[in-house]
Copies of this chain bind each other. A is one copy, B any other.
Amino acid sequence: MANDSEHRGAATPEARTDALRRVLERKGLIEEGALDTLQARLEEQFDWRNGARVVARAWVDADYRERLLADGTKACADLGFTGPQGEYIVVLEDEPTLHNVIVCTQCSCTAWPVLGLPPDWYKSPAYRARVAREPRPVLKEMGLELPPEVQIRVWDTTAETRFMVLPLRPNGTEGWSEEELAAIVTRDAMIGVALVETPESG
């Protein structure tokens, strides 16, 4: 019972974070401003809109799509998306009767350079515990009711591969530009808890 959260008399996470930063600064291990610079750089680097651009490119360029599915890391790097947690990216292709969904049951590993830093629900015990076991009810709860003929493949990020779902291109987007397509791709669709929808279909 020793190690509880702040409700049992610990300093707040904010006070503890600040304490760690100040102690490291005092020891000269953090240079003036280095932490802010690092944080800003990482926040810019880890943006799920990068993944949306990858998806849009794959939808309009059959050759790129093929390369993306054969070597996700390289194809993402070709668009400039690399970095920590993107060392080995595997792209999962949705099909009309096969739906992919990603989880990290043991922590919260994510392909940061293309999916960004994931939302709280993705990191919550509830999602991590439940989606590996009962993906269909979980997806339905999150607003995605899949027809019974669609099989589900859950990918658990237990090692160093980082996954990204290549969702189905929605009907009614024939002739759309890559930019227009990128604008309708969502992070949730690249995790696999949503489909990509057009303003009309959505």
* Chain A residues close to B by CB (< 8 Å): 1, 7-8, 124, 126
Contacts and interface: CB of A to CB of B under 8 A. Distances in A.
A5 to B, nearest CB: 8
Contacts of A124: 1
Contact of A7 (B1, B7, B126): B7
A124 B126 CA distance: 23
A1 B124 CA distance: 9
Nearest to A120: B1
Contacts of A7: 7-8
A53 to B, nearest CB: 33
4 contacts: A1-B124, A1-B126, A7-B7, A7-B8
A126 B2 CA distance: 11
A124 to B, nearest CB: 8
- Counting chain B CB atoms within 10 Å of each CB, the highest count among A1, A124, A126 belongs to A1
A126 B8 CA distance: 18
A21 B8 CA distance: 28
Nearest to A126: B1
A128 to B, nearest CB: 14
- Counting chain B CB atoms within 10 Å of each CB, the highest count among A7, A8, A126 belongs to A7
Contacts of A1: 124, 126
Contacts of A8: 7
A37 B169 CA distance: 70
Nearest to A125: B1
Nearest to A8: B7
